Amino acid sequence: MKLIGIIVNPLSGDGRGASIWREIETYLQLNHISYMAKITTKAGEATEHAITLVQEHRVDKLIVIGGDGTIHEAAGGLWQIQNTGFNCPLAVIPAGTGNDFAKAYGIPTQPIQALEAALSETTKVQIDLLRTKNGMIAVNSIGAGFDGMVAKLTNEAGYKKILNRIGLGKLSYFISILRVFATYQPCTAWLEVDGTVHELPNMWLTAVANIPFYGGSIQICPAASPHDGVADVAVIQSRGRYRLLPILFTVYQGKHIHHPAVSFYKGTSISLSTQIPLLVQADGEFSGSTPLQIEIVPSALTVIGSFLSEG
């Protein structure tokens, strides 16, 4: 009998992960579905659980109940054991604040519907990964500058928990954006894409994207695809902050692409160095500071979804 591995982050979505797991566990037991569940209790543990469930318990597929941070960790574990002969598909039951991964792959927000999609494997596809020089991987995006600061502030903010409780968690990202926008100071950066160097004066952010969405459904790179073998890069530059105000209200619909302060690039190898160290986020999690060196790893992970966004 096939065994399903499940990783649960009970704290995701300010406790929503725990309540979703109770609903999912009841369904699995009533339908006599074999599973093994691992509960996370600290940061980084989802990576360990993913490796254990696949290598030791030989699960047929891995389902993550959590947000983008938990998915980020679990995918990292699956990537670490790819070269050992294991290729376990990843499925998600969204329970986080932004749930950008779930949105990109058309995964239902309703837990039982998401579980049924995972069990039926309606769509299974190989997706690319973003990999940094130090071996970290990301499934959604890696960004530096403004968005790195927004990610750090949001994850530390008390209002994130409050808004999650009333179902408005995505609003926490927008509040953080406004807070950072008021004080952020841009700097000069140098972006290298497939060997071509671009000097970027007054750079606010550089985002390397594998899917269109980040930061709670912001469409930073609307054309990004997780299975085209290249990464999309968005850069925002401006000497004055008020010139950027229209972007704050158009980026959620992806309509910022024609703004003169926004530039786009595509490539398989991306490097970013900056005048001063800038905070970095990977899949919405604070991940150190610049410089950055990223390469695309094509068709590196199998994902089970409902349908796939082409941007």
Contact 234, 257 (CB under 8 A): no
Q: Which amino acid is at 193?
A: V
What's the CATH number where 292 sits?
A: 2.60.200.40
Q: Tell me: the pLDDT tens digits for 88-104?
A: 999 999 999 889 999 99
> Are 143 and 277 part of one and the same domain?
yes
Last residue of a domain, one of 121, 148, 170: 121
Nearest CA to 233 among 130, 97, 118, 80?
Answer: 130
Q: Cα–Cα distance between 231 and 226 in angstroms, integer?
A: 8
What's the CATH number where 104 sits?
A: 3.40.50.10330
Sequence-ordered list of residues with C-beta below 8 angstroms from that of 221, at least 6 positions apart, any chain: 141, 207, 209, 212, 232, 233, 234, 264, 311
Last residue of a domain, one of 121, 149, 168: 121
Number of separate domains in the chain:
2
Tokens describing residue 49: 């659980």
Q: Tell me: the pLDDT tens digits for 102-119?
A: 999 999 999 999 999 999
Average pLDDT estimate for 235-249: 94
Mean pLDDT of the chain: 93
CA angle 241, 192, 288 (to 5 degrees): 65
User: Quick one: pLDDT at residue 257?
Assistant: 95
Range of the domain at 108: 4-121
pLDDT over threshold 70, residue 204: yes
pLDDT over threshold 50, residue 308: no
pLDDT over threshold 90, residue 145: yes
> Are 93 and 205 part of one and the same domain?
no
DSSP one-letter code for 226 = T
Q: Tell me: the pLDDT tens digits for 43-89?
A: 999 999 999 999 999 999 999 999 999 999 999 999 999 877 788 99
CA distances from 286 to 32, 210, 294 (A): 39, 18, 16
